[in-house]
Structure 1
Amino acid sequence: MNIKLDNKMQLLVLFIISTSLLTVAQSIITTGVVYLMSDFSVSSTQAQWSYSVFLLVVGVMIPLSAYISRRFTARKIFFFSLSVFLIGSIICYFSNSMIVLIIGRILQAIGNGVIMPYVQILLLRTTPEEKWQTYMGLYGLVIAIAPVIGSFLGGFVITVYGWRALFSFFTIATIILLGLGAIFVKDNAPTEDYPLDYLSVALSIIGCAGIMLGFTNVADFGFTHYLVILPIIIGIVTLILFVNRQSKLEKPLINLSILKNKYFSVGTIFICILFACLNGCTAILPIFMQGVGNHSAIFSASVLLPGGLLIIAFNIIGPLLTNRIGIKKVMIMGCVISIIGFATMMMYTQNSSFEFMAITQSIRFIGAGLALMPATTWTLTMVSDKVEDGTAVNNTLRQIFAAIGSSMAVVVMAILAGGAIGHNSASVTGFNQTSLILLILHVIMLILTVLFIDDKEKIENSS
């Protein structure tokens, strides 16, 4: 399917704006976790499900992205994803329990899981490969702005008006976008009659959900409880069956054979670790600042705002630097700067100043911004002839690891704090030690970069 050139720009602009809105919904709730704990009388790990379940569902939906992009027009994808998101937002606004809120978040995530990978596929389909770093940098710039500004405004809105006001905003904004879509999204390009293997869909959902459920239950039951072990075993076995089935299908749900490309696999591993750490920090930092430091939601959002603005800038600087000095140098810079950022997080105390935390988080965000888009684009160029499948595999795995990272970071911090997070020195120690673990993961990313990642031309010439 090829998008008409005269329709390309309006499609890209409206899809990117919509994806930005839906991406805001993913992390904005983290600034209100403490308030959810109070309103619904739940623990931090239970309240964290409002965030983790979003990541999980998006991860489960993304395997369908290759099928969806081949089977449906941009118009159908746009209206389905935003309509489901709208219903989820309304349910969240009226929720009277944690369960109802989670149901609404699941529907929001389904909408995000459909539109987010599609807009990336749409962009890569309509731009030449030699321009991918530049265009992906611009895409990353726009996508990054909304969550950062949204996180700051979210902290303010929650503090002043309460967390329900967030979902009234999503409802109104989505209705406006649906109206714009009715006017501007006219794409009805021919689609491919691509079959959907329902057994593969079921296996992928059970496998991903089982692994995530098991890891999330660690916080409440410990590592040896059957509610932890059994879901993980079921998830692993189901995913093995899923992988075996894909190899036997003429048109698989996901073409996993691209993982035989060593460089694509290394890039995907790098991105998975990066997203696990990013989302782990997104989960534990508000808990630390609000639950351990006794600060407000707007304080924690303000601490992250400067770094968030910097990651916006470095989402475009990273790809531009890659075009000038090469992927390896940029990725090494990103890893080293991130390691410095996590090292400073190990120094946090209950009395750490706003300025110290804002500066050190800015360092971490610069490192992440340098590496994120170059790594993603480089990984997809390794399988540029199979961009739909590459996007599906890459995005699916990174979302699953993002969900695992957000859940496990909270779990590990709670365990290292002695089982409960509060305004005490044990919780500070738990946060510092969790930061050390995230630092070690970035050292692994640095090693992968030094050993395997290089410009595509050099890799092709050496092979």
Structure 2
Amino acid sequence: MTDERIPLRLIGAIVATGALAFIGILTETVMTVLFPQLMREFRVDTATVQWITTIYLLTVAATMPMSSFLKRRFRLKAIFVAAVALALVGSVIMIVANAFPLLIVARVIQGVGSGVATPLMMNIILEQSPRSKIGRLMGVGSLVITVAPAIGPTVGGAVTTVLPWRAIFVIAVPFILAACALGLACIEQRSPTEDAYLDPLQVASIIVALVGMVLGLNQAGVAVSNAVAGHDATRPAVVATTSVVVGLAALLAFCWLTKRAFSPLLRLGILRDPVVLLHLVAYLVMPIVSIGFGYVITNVAQLGLGTNAFLAGSLVLPGALVGAVCAPVGGWLYDRFGAVGPVLVPFGVATLGPVLLFAFALHLTPAMLAGFYFVFGFCFALGNSNVMTSALGSIPHEFAPDGNAIFNTALQFGGAAGTALFSTILAVAQAGHGAEGSAEFMHATAVGGQWVFATMIAICVVGWSCLAAAFRIRAHRA
């Protein structure tokens, strides 16, 4: 009889890689709170300082597709040590940097580390978990990905209230070292490595594709914001259009190269299955809402309700913390009842959060913002980890690293798209409505929030419909 207990060393390996991924993702959203301080210290404008976050997103998006190749080619401990080294080097540079370009270099290094660590955690779970426990362990992995960006603004606001902004990275160093010690003691190699070949053309095309599309979304938001504010939008519009066209062309080139390759970087054949493809679409669009919520709530609270930065960041905290509890619970429900109920029911109820926010958008209070987001955060955490688990259950086990890389890349891209989309909608609503802090500007922000919440409802319906269609196809096959 198969032993279905979870080994202690597996728990240690998941904690070690999860802590590393958590720190990397956390610093992604922490930095948004630091923009005003960084602008003053390094004498840069808003358009320049946002590259602190944008360059990180671009780097993570470009690195994650490599995870399948790394898993096949190198030992798990070697990959882990590389991620630790990158996280440490990036943090040290952030601590001592005295020029803005050095911060950009540090964020690139940290982005590579995070792009390696997050898929590594998921690969360990997929490869080494007992089959009957995989749902709850994937839930643990999912909470790292979903909770870290949600609590980032709160952590950043709390730390920088009493300490210099560099203290965030000073605090991170001991946690990175502790994760390193735990990982070296617990990570085991269960499967042999392969002589996988890294085709430079495939690598270049997927990097150009992802960087082009993320940059295009970002610059499109900048162009629209500039246009509605009456500023020159020509340059960001040209950059956005060029980036998207080049990105899509590179993506098509990557697909063509992969189809012809003997050792593809990502084995995209798994997407021929409509069940997997529909799961992927849902996993791409739902993070637009979940990660975008952190931006929307903090900005609506400050610019529409007049709260301070710390309170605005704190409004996200209850929904984020309940997510930390509910993600593993959702995984347990998956192990117990299968995929259909533990995915469709929570996602259906989660849509109620944006619906309530839309209905009360012009009469919101901070408590209502936090409460309605709590509804979404609670139910989203129950169902989200099960989407990837359900999809990977439809493909052969040896292709799991490819599915892991594809789904994690989609998650990162969806998060970047959410922030760009919602910031643009708010900017359009606010344009021409007086100075920040005026009653007219606050009302315009509330109206923009209502537009955002309507967009969130539509996205949630699309995601839910894709999953329902996938389960219907699977049931028909059975």
What TM-score comes out, normalization by structure 2 length? Answer: 0.86
Shift of 1:18: 2.3
1:23 has 2:25 as partner: yes
Partner of 2:177: 175
Distance 1:394 1:192 in 2: 22
Deviation of 1:151 after TM superposition, in Å, equals 4.8
Task: Call closer, same or farther: CA 1:146–1:398 in 2, change over 3 Å.
Answer: closer
Write the mapping of 1:181-196 to structure 2, written as runs, cut at 5 A: 181=183, 190-196=192-198
* 1:415 alignment partner, one of 414, 428, 436: 428
Note the C-alpha offset of 1:186.
7.2
Q: For residue 210 of structure 1, what is the aligned residue in structure 2? A: 212
Percent sequence identity over aligned pairs:
23
1:273 to 265, 271, 285: 285
Question: How much has 1:382 moved relative to structure 2?
Answer: 1.2
Contact 1:65 1:117 in 2 (8 A): yes
Q: Secondary structure at the match of 1:295?
A: coil
Equivalent residue for 1:387?
A: 400
**AA at the equivalent of 2:420:** S
For 1:109-149, what per-residue CA distance to the aligned partner results, in whole angstroms no more than 9, with x for missing partners? 11010011011111111124343213212333466565566
Question: By how many angstroms is 1:307 displaced?
Answer: 0.7
Q: Which structure 1 residue ranges, 5 or more long, are not aligned? A: none
- Deviation of 1:329 after TM superposition, in Å, equals 2.7
**Secondary structure at the residue paired with 1:194?**
coil
Following TM superposition, by how much is the alpha carbon of 1:374 offset from its aligned partner in structure 2, in angstroms? 1.1
Aligned-residue CA RMSD (Å): 2.9
Give the aligned partner of residue 230 of structure 2: none
- More displaced, 10-19 or 61-70? 10-19
CA separation in 1, counterparts of 2:43 and 2:448? Answer: 23
| Amino acid corresponding to residue 142 of structure 2 in structure 1 | G
Q: 1:196 is aligned with what amino acid?
A: L
Letter in structure 2 aligned against 1:290: Q
In the alignment, which of 274, 282, 286 is matched to residue 262 of structure 1? 274
- Supply the distance in 1 between the matched residues of 2:294 and 2:62 (Cα, whole angstroms): 21
Query: 1:34/1:341 Cα in 2 relative to 1: closer, same or farther (>3 Å)?
Result: farther
The number of residues matched between the two structures is 456
Corresponding residue for 2:229?
A: none
The one-letter amino acid of 1:125's match is: E
Match of 1:443 in 2: 461
CA distance, structure 2, for counterparts of residue 149 and residue 418 of structure 1: 29
- Following superposition of structure 1 onto structure 2, how do residues 65-76 of structure 1 map, counting pairs within 5 Å? 65-76=67-78
How far residue 171 of structure 1 moved from its aligned partner, in angstroms, is 2.9
Q: Secondary structure at the match of 2:195?
A: coil
1:398 to 411, 414, 433: 411
Change beyond 3 A, Cα 1:43–1:347? farther
Secondary structure, in 3 states, of the residue corresponding to 1:452? helix
Which region of structure 1 is more displaced relative to structure 2, 294-303 or 368-377? 294-303
Work out which of the residue numbers 297, 309, 314 in structure 2 matches 1:285: 297
> Which of 251, 266, 270 is equivalent to 1:239?
251
Q: Please tell me whether the aligned partners of residues 63 and 116 of structure 2 are also in contact (alpha carbons under 8 angstroms).
A: yes
Q: Which range moved further: 329-338 or 437-446?
A: 329-338
SS in structure 2 of the partner of residue 299 of structure 1 = helix
Q: 1:58 corresponds to which residue?
A: 60
Structure 2 vs 1, CA of residues 117 and 287 (structure 1 numbering), >3 Å: closer, same or farther? same
d(CA) in 1 for partners of 2:262 and 2:131? 27
Query: In structure 1, how many angstroms separate the alpha carbons of the residues matched to 2:82 and 2:223?
Result: 38
Residue 317 of structure 2, aligned match among 291, 301, 305: 305
Distance 1:229 1:313 in 2: 42
Distance in 2 of aligned mates of 1:179 and 1:194: 29
Q: Is the 2:158–2:310 Cα contact (8 Å) retained in structure 1?
A: yes
SS of equivalent to 2:348:
helix
In structure 2, relative to structure 1, the CA distance for the partners of 1:347 and 1:93 (3 Å cut) is farther
The aligned counterpart of 2:446 is 428
- Going from structure 1 to structure 2, the CA distance change for 1:349 and 1:144 (only over 3 Å counts) comes to closer
Query: Does the 8 Å CA contact 1:129/1:381 hold for their aligned counterparts?
Result: no
Aligned-residue offset at 1:179: 4.7
Counterpart-to-counterpart distance in 2, 1:387 and 1:168: 36
- Once the two structures are superposed, residues 81-136 of structure 1 have per-residue CA deviations (whole angstroms, 9 ceiling, x without a partner) of 11111222222334456544333222111101001101111111112434321321
Kept in 2, the 8 Å contact 1:57–1:113? The answer is yes
- How far apart are residue 375 of structure 1 and its match? 0.9
How far apart, CA to CA, are the structure 1 residues paired with 2:93 and 2:216? 27
Distance 1:277 1:432, change over 3 A: same
DSSP-derived class of the 1:193 partner: coil
Q: Distance in 2 between matches of 1:348 and 1:97?
A: 45
**One-letter amino acid matched to 2:326:** F
Alignment match, 2:378: 366
Q: CA deviation at 1:209?
A: 0.8
Q: Distance in 1 between matches of 2:115 and 2:349?
A: 31
Task: Verify the 8 A CA contact 1:195 1:251 in the aligned structure 2.
Answer: yes
Contact kept, 8 Å, 1:158 with 1:297, in 2: the verdict is no
Q: What is the rounded CA distance, in whole Å, between the counterparts of 1:288 and 1:34 in structure 2?
A: 18
Conserved in 2, the CA contact under 8 Å of 1:32 and 1:297?
no
With 42-51 and 112-121 compared, the bigger mean Cα shift is at: 42-51
AA aligned to 1:398 is: L
Letter in 2 for 1:134: R
Paired residue for 1:355, among 354, 357, 367? 367
Letter paired with 1:199? L
- Give the structure 1 partner of residue 342 of structure 2: 330
Is 1:249 aligned with 2:264? Answer: no
Distance in 1, Cα, partners of 2:185 & 2:340: 44
TM-fit CA distance, 1:345 = 2.4
Q: CA deviation at 1:155?
A: 2.2
Q: Secondary structure at the match of 1:404?
A: helix
Structure 1's 429 and 42: CA in aligned 2 closer, same or farther, altered over 3 A? farther
2:169 maps to a residue whose letter is F
**Contact residue 10 and residue 186 of structure 2 kept, 8 A:** no
Residues in 2 aligned to 1:143 and 1:66: alpha-carbon distance in whole angstroms: 18
Show the counterpart of 1:221: 223
> Any idea what the Cα deviations from partners look like across 1:199-232, whole Å, max 9, x if unmatched?
1111111111111112211233348732221111
2:470 alignment counterpart: 452
**Alpha-carbon contact 2:16-2:180 (below 8 Å) kept:** no
